[in-house]
Amino acid sequence: MTQVTLANLSKTYSGQDRPALDSLSLDIRSGELAALLGPSGSGKTSCLKIIAGLMDPSSGDLRFDGQPVLQLPPERRGAVMVFQNHLLFPFMNVADNIGFGLKMRGIDKAEIARQVAEMLALVRLPELGARRPAELSGGQQQRVALARALILRPRVLLLDEPLSNLDAHLRLEMRDLIRSLQQELGITTLFVTHDQEEAVMLADRVALILEGRLKQFDRPEAFYQRPADKATSAFFGGRNFIPGTVTSGRFESASWAKLDRSS
Amino acid sequence: MAGQQDKAAARSGARLWTGFRFLSAGLLLIWLVLPLLPLAIWSFAKGWFFPDLLPRRWSLRAWDYVFSDTAGLFDSLGQSLVIALAVVLVSALVGLPAGRALGFYQFRGKQLVELIILAPLIVPGIAVVMGLHSLFIGLGLTNNLAGVMLVHLIPTLPYMVLVMAGVFANYDIAFEQQARALGASRIQVWLFIMLPSILPGLIAGSLFAFLVSWSQYILTLMIGGGRVITLPLLLFNFANAGRHDITGALALIYILPGVIILLIMAGYLSGRGPAFGGTGRP
C-alpha cells in the first residue's frame, strides 16, 4: 500500500516552448484506483513515464509514502508501467514474458515457474504459458502484459490506455478484471485514458488534465454535479451553458428574460 | 460455367508457375555449380588437354600435395581464419553502436554520414590501399597480421554498419523501456532484450564480414607485403604458376566456408520470421 504524491511536476520537451505537463500536483491515496483523463497530447503518458522513472521531469517532486523517489532508477522504484500496445517480447513465450521481471531480480527458476502459473490462473489464461505472444488475441495479450506487471507485486501500478486497443465487449471484460484484481491486491493504481466513460466506470477518483494542466481531481459524479469550469463540463458532455449568477441560493440569468418573451 | 472455367484457369496458372519455379531453380543451380565443376575435375586430373572432354588419366597427386607440409595450406588457412575472425569481432563491436545510431536517430547530415560509410564500397580497394600504404609503413603496420586485419576493416565495416542500421530501423526501442519498467538494469536490457532481438541480423552481418575478409586479395598482398600469406594469396601463387590441378584442389577448400555460410543464411533468408531480426514496430 503506497501513497503517491506529485508536487508541481512539470515537463517541457526540448525545442518546445509550451510544457507537456504544467505544474501537476496530485495526491493519490494508498490502494486507490485513480484515472488520468485528458485528450491525446495532454501529457498523460509523460506523467506515467515520470512516475515509472523512464523520464525525468523538468521540475517538481515525486514521493511514494513521503519518500522522494526521483533519484531512484526505475528498477528500484517499485512502480511498474504497462504500455498501451502491450509490448510483449516477441522472442519469448508467454510464461517467460510473465516471469521476465522476476528473472531480472535473480529469483530461481522453480520459484518463477510457480508464481507464473499462479499469475496465469489469476488473469484466467491457465493453459497458454507455452504460446508465443503473436499467437494470442489482443485481449489475451493485454492480460499477459498485466500479469507480467502484477507478478512483481509493485507498490504502484501504472496503466497506459489499458482498454484502448480492445474490442467493445473485451473492453468491458477487461475493465472488470482490472477493477477486481486491483481491489483484491490493493495496489495503488494510476491509469491513463482519453475516454471519460472508461475513467468514470473504473476509477475511484478522476484527474482531468487539459492542455497540460490539472482541471479537477475528484470523484466521478462530481464532474457532472460540480464541474470546475466550462471546459471541464464540456469534456464530460455538457452542451448547454447558461450564463448567470447565484445570489443567496437563487440562480439568475439574463437569458431567462429572453425565454419569457418568446413564450 | 464461368466459375469452373475460372478455377481451371487458376489451376493451369498455378501449374505454369510451379514449372517456372523449377526451371529457374534449375538454371540457378547450373549457374552456380557448373563453373565449379572444372575445378573439381582439374583437382583429380593428371593433365587435361584440348580437345578432350575429360582428362585421360586421373590422379590424387594434387590432393596429396595440397595436404603435405610443403604446400603451406594449413598456415594459410590458419592465417585467413584468424584474420577473418578478428575482423568480424571488431566489425561487430564498431558496427553495432554505429548501426544503432543510424537506425534510431535522425540528425543533421545523416545522409552524408551514410554516404561516407558506403564510400569504401564505391572506391576501388587498390586506390585506397595505395594511399594507405606509406602511412601503414610509417606506423609499422605493414608485413604483419595487425595491419592486414586493420585494412580488411575498410571493406567489411560498411556491410556490418548497414546491416545493423537496417536491423535497428526495424527495432522498437519501447521494448527496452518496457524491460526497464519491469525492473531490468541497463546491462540486463542489452543482454535479454537487445541481443536476442538483433541476433539474426548480427549473425547475417558477421557472415558477410567474414566472407568479405576471407576473399580479400589485393589489400592482403599490399599491406601483408608477402609475409602474410592468406588462402587467396596461396591460391593465386599456384594459379600463376600454371598448376591447374593444385589450384583446383585449393579452390575447392577455399570456397568451403562460403558454401557453409550460404546454407546457414538460407535458413534466415527463406522467410522464416524477420530475416534480419528486430522486434518489428507495432
A16-20 CB contacts, 8 Å cutoff, 24+ apart: A18/A212, A19/A43, A19/A58, A19/A212, A20/A46, A20/A212
Compute the half-sphere exposure of residue B274: CA atoms within 13 Å on the CB side of its CA.
21
H or E, element range at A215: strand A213-218
* Smallest CA–CA distance from A88 into chain B, residue: B175
Nearest residue, CB atoms, B279 vs list A83, A90, A103: A90
- Interface with chain B: mutation pick from A72, A80, A87, highest number of B CBs within 10 Å: A87
Nearest residue, CB atoms, A54 vs list B172, B180, B280: B180
Q: How far is A148 from chain B (nearest CA, A)?
A: 8
Cβ–Cβ below 8 Å for B279 and A81: no
- Interface with chain A: mutation pick from B172, B182, B197, highest number of A CBs within 10 Å: B182
Within chain B, how many helices (H) and strands (E) appear? 14, 0
Cβ–Cβ below 8 Å for B184 and A100: yes
Nearest residue, CB atoms, A89 vs list B175, B183, B185: B175
Nearest residue, CB atoms, B181 vs list A54, A85, A103: A54
Numbered residues of chain B with Cβ closer than 8 Å to any chain A Cβ? 172, 174-175, 177-185, 188, 192-193, 196-197, 279-280, 282
- Report the alpha-carbon distance of residue B263 to residue A204 in Å, rounded: 60
Spell out which residues of chain A touch residue B192, defining contact as CB-CB under 8 Å.
100, 103-104
* Smallest CA–CA distance from A50 into chain B, residue: B181
Query: What pLDDT was estimated at residue B104?
Result: 84
For B152, the grid coordinates are 580488411
- Report the alpha-carbon distance of residue B46 to residue B16 in Å, rounded: 46
What is the tens place of the pLDDT at every residue in B74-133? 999 999 999 999 999 999 999 999 999 988 888 888 889 888 888 888 888 888 888 889
Cβ–Cβ below 8 Å for A83 and B184: no
Query: What pLDDT was estimated at residue B150?
Result: 94
Cβ–Cβ below 8 Å for A100 and B182: yes
Spell out which residues of chain B touch residue A75, defining contact as CB-CB under 8 Å.
180, 183-185
Beta strand A156-160 with A79-82 is parallel
For B156, the grid coordinates are 567489411
Per-residue pLDDT of chain A (263 residues; tens, 9 = 90+): 789 999 988 888 887 888 888 888 999 999 999 999 988 877 888 899 999 998 899 999 999 998 999 999 888 888 999 988 888 999 899 999 999 999 999 999 999 999 999 999 988 888 888 999 989 988 889 899 999 999 999 999 999 988 887 888 888 888 888 999 898 888 999 999 998 888 998 999 999 998 878 889 999 999 888 888 888 888 888 888 888 888 888 888 877 766 665 54
Cβ–Cβ below 8 Å for A73 and B185: yes
Per-residue pLDDT of chain B (282 residues; tens, 9 = 90+): 555 677 777 778 888 888 888 898 889 888 888 888 888 888 888 888 878 888 888 888 888 888 888 888 899 999 999 999 999 999 999 999 999 998 888 888 888 988 888 888 888 888 888 888 999 999 999 899 999 999 999 999 999 999 999 899 888 888 998 898 888 988 999 999 999 989 888 988 999 899 999 999 999 999 998 889 999 999 999 889 888 888 999 999 999 888 888 777 776 655 444 444 455 443
- Report the alpha-carbon distance of residue A95 to residue A98 in Å, rounded: 5
For B169, the grid coordinates are 530501423
- Interface with chain B: mutation pick from A46, A77, A91, A156, highest number of B CBs within 10 Å: A91
